[in-house]
Amino acid sequence: MFGDDIVMLSRMQFGLTALYHFLFVPLTLGMTFILGIMESVYVMTGKEVYKDMTKFWGKLFGINFAMGVTTGLTLEFQFGTNWAYYSHYVGDIFGPLLAAEGWMAFFLESTFVGLFFFGWDKLSKTQHLVVTWLLAVGTSLSALWILIANGWMQHPVGAEFNYETLRMEMTSFADVFFNPVAQVKFVHTVAAGYVTGSMFVLGISSWYLLNKRDIGFARRSFSIASAFGLASILSVIVLGDESGYTSGETQKIKLAAIESEWETHPAPASFTVLGFPDQQNEKTDFAIKIPYVLGLIATRSIDEDVKGLKDLREESVQRIKNGMLAYGELQKLRAGDTDPATKQAFDARKADLGYGLLLKKYTDNVVDADAATVAKAANDTIPKVAPLFWTFRIMVACGFTMLFIFAMSFYYCATRVADQKRWLMRMAVWCIPLPWIAAETGWFVAEFGRQPWTISGILPTHMSVSSLSADQLWFSIGGFALFYTVLLIIEMYLMLKYVRLGPSSLHTGRYCFEQTAAAH
């Protein structure tokens, strides 16, 4: 229907702008909570150093937050500009979730962020603390709503197709809200954000400690980050395992692709640790497997099997054939057929309508597709395995490395010898990028793994795009590339500058550069 180039460019733009936005979001999620913790300690103990910590880490948070706001605007616009048919088709479900995010989250965080920075002398201690926590709650609520929206794209529940309006409509808000995929995703993602904030504070504090500057300030920041980070990384890993379980229920194909599981093996399935997926010949070379583990993760049992990609593709063939019939009945209904039998037949098959739409990529006349075309469409339902296989393993490796760092840091903090473990602090500095790598690869697994759908089983990606030309897309991609590159350079420059300055940037007269200046 649309040229592949339009679909490809639209996906590229969405992927790049979303991944870019996701560079700033996790840090915002984590930093607001860490600021809340630091300020709570300040209010409880009255020690000025905790106030300075809140202010200094708050400065770094502010530099990051501005970019989060900038790049978040893009996403609000982009569903409409680039995914117009998607917006029409699922706006009834997706739209209210975004609007709820606006009412409950965006207003909260954006209204109180100004007061967080400028309200120190205008509010009482407790009032300011409440403001900081409201900011933190606001950012996490924002994640809640957008992940309910995303969870619905992964596992669409509580909605059905309406042939009169030619779109999906919400049938149960409760089902959408309590979608198990969404709930797990939410906790997994916000906890990943808390890990990002913790790793950021831990790494930078380690750098101050290694350079023997602002010791008291850095040591306190280090311990808060190690405790909060350990709790967070544990939730990420436990909930990550939980999302393996839920995706076993609802997104079998994604799981099978992550595991490069081509065939259905007798239960319990073994887990492929490493190997080389070979898409062409549909096998995995040099696979190293651990028996039982995949079956346990995906089905929480040892007697259910985990379906392989080839069998899943066979299921797609059946659903596509059913979808062709549903599409034929929809055409009749649309043309004004009022026979209840047609409506009944359509209702019986409409769950597979989306599979019929997969054929639109190859033929406008969905109803008379031949077996070869059906086979091609069915093959599309199997994502490219290698990228999913590897990004997933990178994410997991980053997660476990951070678990090690936080566990050691926490242990040495508890035994009060953390300052002497220079190897650990060096490792913490070098590992600052890990949470970002994990977050970006995790996002990739979730979204690339959903292909060829924007809404799993409901709406194919190639149907979702706007009616645009390649020129228009190149214009926008060029604009984003230009703005985002310049802004990123500026942001990194400021961030590094303020990290180097450290708490001296607060001009309190208590920190390292100010003391040397005073001594001269």
Partner 1 sequence: MFDYETIRVIWWVLIGVVGIAFALTEGFDFGIGTLLPFIGKTDLERRVIINTVGATWEGNQVWLVLLGGAIFAIWPAVYATLFSGLYAAMLLVLFALFFRPAGFDYRSKLENPGWRNAWDWALFLGGTLPPVLIGVLVGNLILGLPFHLDQDLRTFYDGSFWALLSPFALLCGVTGLLLTTFHGALFLKWRSEDVIHDRAVLAVEFLGPMLIAALSAVMLWVFIGIDRPEITQMAGTGAPSNPLHKTVVGNGAGWIEHFMQYPWMWSAPLAGLGGFAMAWWMGKGESRMGAFLFSSVGIVGIALSVGFALFPFLLISSTDPKSSLTLWDASSSHSTMVLAFWITVIFLPIVLLYTRFVYRIIWGSVTEAAVLKDSHTLY
Span 95-134, contacts to partner 1 by CB under 8 A: 95-96, 98-104, 106-108, 110-115, 117-123
What DSSP character marks residue 42? H
84 forms part of the interface with partner 1 (CB under 8 A): yes
Q: Which is nearer to partner 1, 162 or 365 (CB)?
A: 162
Minimum distance of partner 1 from residue 514's CB (angstroms):
12
Please state, in angstroms and as integers, the Cα–Cα distance from residue 313 to each residue in 362, 450, 451, 482, following that order.
18, 14, 14, 41
Q: Which of 153, 159, 162, 187 is nearest to 173 (CA)?
A: 159
Angle among Cα 149, 466, 21 to the nearest 5 degrees reads 45
Q: What does the block give as tokens for 258?
A: 């992550």
Q: Which is nearer to partner 1, 107 or 430 (CB)?
A: 107
Question: Quick one: which segment of 30-38, 409-417, 434-442, 498-506 binds partner 1 (CB under 8 A)?
Answer: 498-506
511 forms part of the interface with partner 1 (CB under 8 A): no
365 forms part of the interface with partner 1 (CB under 8 A): no
- Residue 163: phi and psi, rounded to 5, are -70, -20
Q: Give the separation between CA 168 and CA 488, rounded to whole angstroms.
A: 38
Q: Which is nearer to partner 1, 101 or 352 (CB)?
A: 101
Binding mask 14-53 for partner 1 (x = CB under 8 A): ----------------------------------------
Q: Mapping DSSP to helix (H, G, I), strand (E, B) and coil, where does residue 161 land?
A: strand
Q: Which is nearer to partner 1, 142 or 316 (CB)?
A: 142
Minimum distance of partner 1 from residue 71's CB (angstroms):
9
Could you say which of 44, 166, 489, 517 contacts partner 1 (CB under 8 A)? 166
Q: Which is nearer to partner 1, 178 or 400 (CB)?
A: 178
Per the omega criterion (within 30 degrees of 0), is the bond before 268 cis?
Answer: yes
Q: Which is nearer to partner 1, 135 or 388 (CB)?
A: 135
Question: Quick one: which segment of 69-77, 184-192, 301-309, 404-412 binds partner 1 (CB under 8 A)?
Answer: 69-77
Q: Which of 262, 182, 192, 171 is nearest to 28 (CA)?
A: 192
57 forms part of the interface with partner 1 (CB under 8 A): no
| Paired residues of 455 in beta bridges | 459
Minimum distance of partner 1 from residue 87's CB (angstroms):
4
Q: Which of 404, 53, 40 is nearest to 205 (CA)?
A: 53
Could you say which of 280, 340, 415, 507 contacts partner 1 (CB under 8 A)? 507
Minimum distance of partner 1 from residue 439's CB (angstroms):
21
Interface of this chain with partner 1, residues 458 to 497, rule: CB under 8 A: 466-468, 472, 475-476, 479, 483, 487, 490-491, 494, 497
Q: Which is nearer to partner 1, 28 or 243 (CB)?
A: 28
Q: How many residues line the site for partner 1 (CB under 8 A)? A: 75
Minimum distance of partner 1 from residue 498's CB (angstroms):
8
Minimum distance of partner 1 from residue 416's CB (angstroms):
34
Interface of this chain with partner 1, residues 133 to 162, rule: CB under 8 A: 162
Interface of this chain with partner 1, residues 283 to 342, rule: CB under 8 A: 334
Q: What does the block give as tokens for 110?
A: 């954006």
234 forms part of the interface with partner 1 (CB under 8 A): no
Q: Which is nearer to partner 1, 89 or 222 (CB)?
A: 89
What DSSP character marks residue 102? I
Could you say which of 12, 44, 73, 417 contacts partner 1 (CB under 8 A)? 73
180 forms part of the interface with partner 1 (CB under 8 A): no
Question: Each residue of 358-391: b (16+ CB within 10 Å) or e?
Answer: bbbbbeeebeebeeebbeebbebbbbebebbbbb
Could you say which of 40, 70, 264, 363 contacts partner 1 (CB under 8 A)? 70
Helix (H) / strand (E) containing 362: none
Dihedral over Cα of 247, 251, 252, 257: its sign:
negative
Q: Give the separation between CA 317 and CA 323, rounded to whole angstroms.
A: 10
Q: Give the separation between CA 274 and CA 285, rounded to whole angstroms.
A: 9
Residue 253 near residue 382, CB atoms below 8 Å: yes
Please state, in angstroms and as integers, the Cα–Cα distance from residue 514 to each residue in 219, 280, 352, 503, 518, following that order.
19, 63, 68, 10, 6
